[in-house]
Amino acid sequence: MAATATTIDVSHLSKSFGPVEAVSDLSFVVEPGSVTGFLGPNGAGKTTTLRMLLGLVTPSSGSASFGGVGYRDLPSPLTTVGTALEASSFHPGRTARRHLGIYATAAAIDRSRIDAVLEQVGIAQYADRRVGGYSLGMRQRLGLAFALLGDPRVLVLDEPINGLDPEGIRWIRGFLRELANEGRTVLVSSHLLSEVQQSVDRAIIISRGRLVFDGTLGDLEFTARVAVDAPDRRALHAALLAAGARVDVTDDGLIVKELDAAAVGAIAHRAGVALSLLAAQQEGLESAFLELTSEAPPPRAGAHSGGAHAAPAAAPPVTPTAGGAS
Amino acid sequence: MSVVSATRAEFAKVVTVRLWWILALVMFAYVGLLAGVLAGVFGGLDLGGGSAGPQLDLGQVHLVVYSTASAIGYVFPVLLGALSATSEFRHQTLTPTFLANPRRAQVLVAKAVAMAVVGAFYGLVALVASVGTGAVVLSAVGRDARLDDPDTWVLAARVLLAMALWAVIGVALGTLVPNQVAVLVIVLAFTQFVEPILRSVSPIWEWTAQVGQFLPGAASDALVGWSVFTTLGSASADAVALEWWQGGLVLFAIALVAGVIGYFAVWKRDVT
């Protein structure tokens, strides 16, 4: 089945800013008809990845495309892919309507779309005010209006929920769902899982520029922990390690990661260890998310001790040392 | 997403914020004032007093007065052109610009073309100021404004061309030096101090005079054909050896070189 221009295809994508590797060997696919969350802590490389996807940043290696076609080679980019990056790309002295008018002109999009998208995101009554006077929430909506201008089949939204009030957050959740139900491909980045967990079907999680999770939120819950204990704790520990589980020892027992309670129980049963405690820790997705993103990926922990060099404004990966050169 | 729509979008960027008419207004007042003062001073000179004053063909006073449109006013299209580029960096509007049209070379060419049109419009405004006040003052001091002189209209046409080229030079400079404050300082310092000083000392030796005529302001004056700088002071007529079209080519070459370097060094960089 041939890929279409509505599928986002990221393949072995890497980007270095000087000595700092912002994104390393990242691969994932985003299919139409669902909302996909692109998650990771601040500085994980989300924005750099999206900017490479959109042809704004040139990858060091690898590729990012829409069904095999790079953004710069799309015959009509704005009507294929709608983008809202961080909410600051406006001239403060220009009105919202004129801001959209410029890019509608550049992309040869019918001017009737300007009123349509202003209406759609709910800022039509402010359309003739200068953007300099806009609140962050209004700028976010104007950013979305820009994304929708070409009525694209693919939407790439970077932190669209940031700065919205509760009413705005509820609105955008419904809005994202609606866009996906129309069969569009929706990729939404966020540094907070809780912000998007009600609206995304799938999550792609990166940490320090690397993929750490790609699957449904249901799958993500299985990566949560299970608390387990036995009168013979040493035998249980040995059995779990023998089964290849990842185990932390605490004062109150053992914490097993990346296995569900049933699997842990089965391991204990096979080893003939009687359990005194077996409880899936229902701290929810957020803790699983933190678990995934707080750890350094094993192969290259501490690899960037060289420090942050006059790094470009694009978020460099979190490095333990910040006292580098000017 | 063609050169035409890109140029229309770049043109819309200029006219949808207030800077263009504020700068045009300041230029109008400044050029008008200086043209009026020059017309009053030189128009009032006695024809017989030539030996005491600078070497001046008083038959051409009207042309010198009218040429202030570009000789004085040229800094304004440079500023507008430079700011049109630097504001894209400052306000991060390069992001939506390159999203709407990822062909960056096309965007830069479109910006240069749009600014050339705006620069020519600035030329028109400056001519209205210099010819308007100049002709009135010349008439008031009893001199013919010479609006019927074909040279007046040749000069006017070349002022439009010069101002268009200056706006393009501004775009190229703003691309090369994307920092708004830095480019403002560079443009003002160079046009108001560095170049006037260089032009006043360059005729001292033969070889410096040869080099000096390639200074952008000198080339612009050569293109227009008359200027208060070349008619007055130490700058003898010999220093302006460039033909009018050569002056235009020098300006174009400056814009081209700065623009090409800016394109490869800055414009094509990652937009973060």
Structural domains of chain A, ranges and CATH numbers in brackets? 8-217 (3.40.50.300), 225-281 (3.30.70)
Which of A1, A32, A310 shows the shortest CA–CA distance to A155? A32
Query: What was the ipTM of the complex prediction?
Result: 0.89
pLDDT of residue A224: 62
- Decide if A275 contacts A236 (C-beta within 8 A): yes
Distance between CA atoms of residues B240 and B225, nearest Å:
9
**Given an 8 Å threshold on Cβ–Cβ distance, is B102 in contact with A74?**
yes
DSSP tag of A224: S
Distance between CA atoms of residues A128 and A116, nearest Å:
15
pLDDT in tens, B20-64: 999 999 999 999 999 999 999 887 765 544 444 455 556 788 898
Tokens representing residue B162 in the block: 């010069």
pLDDT of residue B232: 55
The residue of chain A with its CA nearest to that of B272 is: A314
DSSP tag of B263: I
pLDDT of residue A179: 93
* Sequential pLDDT tens for chain A (326 residues): 444 678 999 999 999 998 989 999 999 999 999 999 999 998 899 999 999 999 999 999 999 999 999 999 999 999 999 999 976 689 999 999 999 999 999 999 999 999 999 999 999 999 999 999 999 889 999 999 999 999 999 999 999 988 788 888 888 999 999 999 999 999 999 988 888 888 888 999 999 999 999 998 877 765 567 889 999 898 999 999 988 888 888 888 888 877 878 888 999 999 899 999 888 775 667 777 877 787 644 443 333 333 333 333 333 333 333 333 33
B99 pLDDT higher than 50? yes
- Decide if A304 contacts A24 (C-beta within 8 A): no
Residues on chain B touching A313 (C-beta within 8 angstroms): 272
B19 at A interface, C-beta within 8 A: yes
Which helix (H) or strand (E) segment is B74 a member of? none
Gap from A258 CA to chain B (nearest CA, Å): 36
B contact test, residue of A91, A95, A130 with most B CBs within 10 A? A91
3-state SS, residue B80:
helix
B200 pLDDT higher than 60? yes
Gap from A129 CA to chain B (nearest CA, Å): 12
Q: Residue B176: pLDDT band by 50, 70, 90 thresholds?
A: very high
Say which of A57, A101, A146 has its CB closest to residue B271.
A57
Distance between CA atoms of residues B28 and B25, nearest Å:
5
Q: Is A39 exposed, middle or buried (0-12, 13-18, 19+ CB in 10 A)?
A: buried
DSSP tag of A276: S
- Tell me how far apart the 2 most distant CA atoms of chain A are, in Å: 74
B13 at A interface, C-beta within 8 A: yes
Q: Where are the beta strands (DSSP E) in B12-74?
A: none
pLDDT of residue A100: 97
Beta strand A210-216 pairing with A202-207: antiparallel
First to last CA, chain A: 51
pLDDT in tens, B209-268: 888 889 999 899 889 988 877 665 444 445 457 889 999 999 999 999 999 999 999 999
Say which of A72, A146, A313 has its CB closest to residue B102.
A72
* Number of Cβ within a 10 Å radius of residue A82: 26
What pTM, to 2 d.p., does this model score?
Answer: 0.83
DSSP tag of B60: G
Tokens representing residue A129 in the block: 């005010």
Which helix (H) or strand (E) segment is A257 a member of? strand A253-257
The residues that bridge with A16 in the sheet, in sequence order, are: A21
Burial A297-316 (b: 16+ CB within 10 A, else e): eeeeeeebeeebeebbebbb
Distance between CA atoms of residues A226 and A234, nearest Å:
17
Give every CB contact of residue B44 below 8 A, 6+ residues apart in sequence.
B141
pLDDT of residue B42: 82
pLDDT of residue A323: 36
Residues on chain A touching B16 (C-beta within 8 angstroms): 94-95, 98-99, 101-102
Which of A25, A131, A182, A83 shows the shortest CA–CA distance to B271? A83
DSSP tag of A88: T
**Given an 8 Å threshold on Cβ–Cβ distance, is B17 in contact with A93?**
yes
Which helix (H) or strand (E) segment is B213 a member of? none
Per the prediction, chain B carries an average pLDDT of 89
B236 at A interface, C-beta within 8 A: no
Gap from B18 CA to chain A (nearest CA, Å): 7
The residues that bridge with A203 in the sheet, in sequence order, are: A37, A215
Say which of A55, A77, A101 has its CB closest to residue B12.
A101
Cα distances (Å, whole numbers) of residue A88 to A131, A157, B48: 10, 14, 65
